Amino acid sequence: MTVIRRREFLEAGVATALAAGVAPKWLFAQDDGIVATIRRAAATGEITVHPVRRGISVLMGSGGNIAVLSGSDGTLLIDAGITASRDKVKKALAGMQAAPVKHLVNTHWHFDHTDGNEWLHDEGATIVAHENTRRHLATSTRVEGWQFTFPPSPLGALPSEVFQTERTLYLNGHSLALKHYSPAHTDSDVSVAFTSADVLHVGDTWWNGYYPFIDYSTGGSIDGTIRAARENVDAVSTQTVVIPGHGPVGGKPEMIEYRDMLDAVRQKVAELKKQGRSLPDVQAAKPTALYDGKWGGFAIDGPAFTGLVYAGV
């Protein structure tokens, strides 16, 4: 199994901006918050290509990790990244001698995984997603944790094929099993298993090496996040290559470590909250102290993650 070092797609200023966050509403105003920052970063950042297994690769640098499978049925992408990266994504695909993009699967509705839907649809891609992804994209949707309201997406950005629980695709010599999670990171999360290659894309139900964002506004919760982490561990063997929504490609050992971190932090925060402590008091107790060095270096630091957990226990 190949373990890949992730090329950061966020500008250096993101960590400083997010360090001020101490609660679920831990970002700045709509015009200057995380959404605008990530879009700016995608416009200037580089796209890197990382081969995985049996013709499957990962593009990193445009929002969430994008899986790529090309062949006679056209190129399939798992997630669409940020529109500002369009030219760089196209250049990366051309460098891979990829066929035209004909198929796109969204692992959930968040903009860093769906912002490129419209241009990829214009290129000829059919978009497949869970029905809740289409529902959130089709309407004005507020994410309180980002203090941002997303307007309805254009018609071309909406998935044209949706499912409720499971869906199977047969493309480029691979069988792809799409499976909806119970509400976890959001209420729209799906995994995509390349069954014959033993490769699994789990979207934002796994942030490899980073504290996750949990979108309570659209059905996410800490308990759902933990449940999905347990399901992911149970679904793979030690040989499975797993593509997270953010962070390097990894496998079962890293997923076990992530699951255990979530369990431990939840237990500590819940115990403190049960004592009647306020959020600032709980954050001052530093329940994530043992984990901040490894998990707090990306978009969410220890106090911010404490706030997300506190909201759900």
Range of the domain at 143: 25-310
Q: Is 6 inside a domain boundary? A: no
How much is the pTM? 0.90
Q: Is 95 inside a domain boundary? A: yes
Beta strands 101-105 and 126-130, pairing class: parallel
Q: Is 14 inside a domain boundary? A: no
Domain count, the chain: 1
pLDDT of res. 42: 85
Q: Is 149 inside a domain boundary? A: yes
Instruction: Please name every residue paired with 246 in a beta bridge, in sequence order, or none if there are none.
Output: 207
Q: Is 193 inside a domain boundary? A: yes
Provide CB contacts within 8 A for 147, sequence distance 6+: 25, 27, 28, 29, 30, 33
pLDDT of res. 29: 38
Residue 27: count of CB within 10 angstroms of its CB: 24
- Domain of 169, CATH number, reads 3.60.15.10
Mean pLDDT of successive 10-residue stretches along the chain, which has 313 residues? 35 30 36 77 90 97 96 97 96 96 98 97 98 98 94 98 98 97 98 98 98 98 98 98 97 98 98 97 98 91 97 97
Instruction: Count Cβ atoms within 10 A of the Cβ of residue 271 and give its class: 0-12 exposed, 13-18 middle, 19 or more buried.
Output: middle
Q: Is 199 inside a domain boundary? A: yes
Q: Is 208 inside a domain boundary? A: yes
Q: Is 244 inside a domain boundary? A: yes
